[in-house]
Amino acid sequence: MKTRNLETELRLKQKLITRGTGFPGNKEGRDGDFTIRFVTGRGMFFFYKWGNKWYSTRMSVYTPKTHQRNEPVILPKGRPPKIVGEATLDIDGKVFVRDTTSTKQQVLSVGSTGICDLTTFTGSSGIKFKRSTTAIVAAGSNDDFMLENTSTSANAHTRITLKTNKQSADASDSYINYVYEHRGESPTWKGWCVGMDGSHATNKFVWNKFPGTAPAVVSTIPSDSAQTRLSLDGGGNLEAAGTVQGTKLRASSTAATTNDTDKFLCIGDGAGEDTYEVKYVTGDTLLGAMAALKDTTDTLTGTLTIDTNGTETTTSTVKGVHIDFDQTGIADSGQILTNIGLDLDMNSESVIHVGTVVHTGIDIDMVGSTDGSQIQTGISINTNGADYNTGLRINTSGTHIRLDAQADPITDYATFVVADTGDLIIATVGDGTTDSDLTLIPDGDLYLDPASRAVKIFTGDKLFFDGDSETTFIFEQSDDVLTFVTGGDYMLSLDEANDKIVFGASNWVAGTVSGATVTEFSAANSAYAGMILGFTVDGNDSADQTYNLTTSYAVFDSDLSVTFKTPPSEKVEIQATFYYQQGNSGNNVLATISNHATYASNSLHHDLQHERSVTAGAERGGQGIVTVSWYMIGIALEPIGSSQTIYFGAKCSSTTGTPNIKWGGSASGEYQNFVMRAIALPA
């Protein structure tokens, strides 16, 4: 080829290599074309088109060094890797790569918080390290897993933490399994599960044995107490399911003793041996050691159990525990000696509890029977001889004394509470509504002698005098209204608010009293006789009125009446006082009463007996003021206590001369007011 033609071809080829940004489209260029493109976020690419497809390779900045300059690599996002060796980011931002087995594998990474985020696959159970080796163990060189802190500081600790998140009192467990798999037709795991029982109140540390049964998945966890062989709780208590063996047993406190043919199991024998060595000693040696210790002060941790059995069959006194405390030292002047025979201190506030704590200072259980003659006393206190003697003193922020019913101690009980002001509240509680009574049965009188001289009953509460019959009592019916009820009848009411006394008795007795004897000085059951039951006055300070009589009885003014209630005797006197005139012809004036405002409707029994003549004989111009009485008995009255109105009626023998009745007046020299009254009569 000629040089001129070669240069032409090169210049042509240079024209064919284009440049730009972004990926070239499939319709751009033709086979054999080159283009250089800068793709944002990915870098510089060299593209070549062949077979209507673009092929590319990533370009990097040339540096005269032995290694390629580091350039960012952008991984495909939002899909799994498709081919072997490809790496992608899933939608959660985690890196996955497809290995030679065409399996998607996660690439673990540690974030800025130091947390390695592992995505859980279906069937996955965490991170597993596997290898196959038969190399002889060489610590620090061929360990399966090792954590090394390369610092030489005294604080350069190396640690592993197993952590669960506590959501409730029954928390998850943290543990490590030490197992080997027993291969065979039915593979099983054998070994130990060691860790913390999160469901235990003090997070007990346990050693659990694997069941060792097929299939291999049969395992255990620390809270599986059925598999526990050894445990250590938060209080330092170690418990073994089997036998603890050794040449010596060391302890921090005295062990309980047991008798075995004049031999006792003790810690040390007081002869210079190790004081934490458990060994047998004879009874004499033990008694000698106890004699040396009897005047010392010691502290016992744990539980002290005293089991005493009374085997005597004759008169005797057996004591489970006897404390003989004598103050033999003389208290110097101005000094205070405080002696406590038995001091019990219990505390639960030093920690923060999640569950329930029930404290009982002293629990006394006594069980007897009725064989022979048995007497039981829970607590017997005898204090005497001092300047001040107190049998029992209780100081509490709650209930001072609670007495439970043996048949139902949960819902039936009584309480004694002393308030800050010294108030004593005695309360009874039962499973019913108001069925828990308080009964006082003194063998003598019952005195209430408050310093304030006041015995108070709350408004509405009742003071009964007939026991459970509850029909005779005194109570405040409403504000300032004291009511006496006898046999269910409201007999007397003292109403201060309305300045009123209400008697509910149908028979009243008035007389002289001598002890329980009342000598009545009125007719029997007639102490109310003479009481004005009703009173009416008409015409007072008002214009005078005149009614011209007719020859027929008429209730000419309904205001001329009296209203009253029938007394217990059912006997009433009706009186009417009025002024009359006989007229110029001197005709007679007659008066009567009616139980109806319309005289024609009068229904009084034997009404004719009530028609009275006011005047006798003709007296021209006769006039005067007269009082007329009528007597009514039960048949003419409403029932006892019922209200009724009796009306005044009148007539004349002849209307000649205009006889009339006049009443009232608002000026001097006028007429008598009309007065009508109802008076109770004796029985």
Q: Tens digits of per-residue pLDDT, 307-354?
A: 778 788 888 888 878 888 888 889 899 999 888 878 888 888 888 999
User: CA nearest 232: which of 255, 201, 203?
Assistant: 203
Least confident of 126-130, 153-157, 506-510, 538-542: 506-510
Q: What was the pLDDT predicted at 368?
A: 86
The better pLDDT of the pair 608, 50 is held by 50
The better pLDDT of the pair 71, 404 is held by 404
Q: What was the pLDDT predicted at 1?
A: 47
What is the identity of the amino acid at 120? T
Asked if the model's pLDDT at residue 471 lies above 50, the reply is: yes
Asked if the model's pLDDT at residue 595 lies above 90, the reply is: yes
Asked if the model's pLDDT at residue 121 lies above 60, the reply is: no
The domain spans of the chain are 3-59, 75-110, 174-240, 394-436, 462-520, 532-680
In DSSP terms, 574 is beta-bridged to 630, 678
Averaged confidence pLDDT in the chain: 81
Strands, E assignment, 111-222: 174-182, 188-196, 205-209
At 269, is the pLDDT very low, low, confident or very high (cuts 50, 70, 90)?
Answer: very low
Inter-residue contact 594 to 555 (CB < 8 Å): yes
Q: Tens digits of per-residue pLDDT, 526-559?
A: 767 889 999 999 999 899 999 999 999 999 999 9
Q: Give the largest Cα separation in the chain, rounded.
A: 187
Q: What was the pLDDT predicted at 254?
A: 44
Q: What was the pLDDT predicted at 617?
A: 74
Q: What was the pLDDT predicted at 666?
A: 87
With tokens 């709350």, the residue in question is 458
User: What is the C-alpha separation between 460 and 161, in angstroms, rounded?
Assistant: 69
Burial of 674 (0-12, 13-18, 19+ CB in 10 A): buried
Q: Residue range 126-130: average pLDDT?
A: 74
Least confident of 423-427, 459-463, 597-601: 459-463
Q: What was the pLDDT predicted at 671?
A: 92
At 607, is the pLDDT very low, low, confident or very high (cuts 50, 70, 90)?
Answer: confident
Q: What was the pLDDT predicted at 658?
A: 93
Q: What was the pLDDT predicted at 260?
A: 47
Q: What was the pLDDT predicted at 338?
A: 87
User: What is the C-alpha separation between 150 and 156, in angstroms, rounded?
Assistant: 8
Q: What was the pLDDT predicted at 591?
A: 95
Asked if the model's pLDDT at residue 523 lies above 80, the reply is: no
Burial 642-658 (b: 16+ CB within 10 A, else e): eebbbbbbbbbbebebe
Q: What was the pLDDT predicted at 257?
A: 46
SS3 state at 413: strand
The better pLDDT of the pair 160, 245 is held by 160
The better pLDDT of the pair 265, 459 is held by 459
Q: Residue range 184-213: average pLDDT?
A: 80
Inter-residue contact 415 to 424 (CB < 8 Å): no
Q: Residue range 427-439: average pLDDT?
A: 85
Would you give the DSSP letter of residue 585? Answer: T
Inter-residue contact 263 to 270 (CB < 8 Å): no
User: CA nearest 414: which of 446, 396, 393, 439?
Assistant: 439
**Rounded (5°) CA angle 161-166-168:** 155
The better pLDDT of the pair 166, 115 is held by 115
Q: What is the CA radius of gyration of the chain?
A: 58
CATH 3.90.226 given to domain 532-680: no
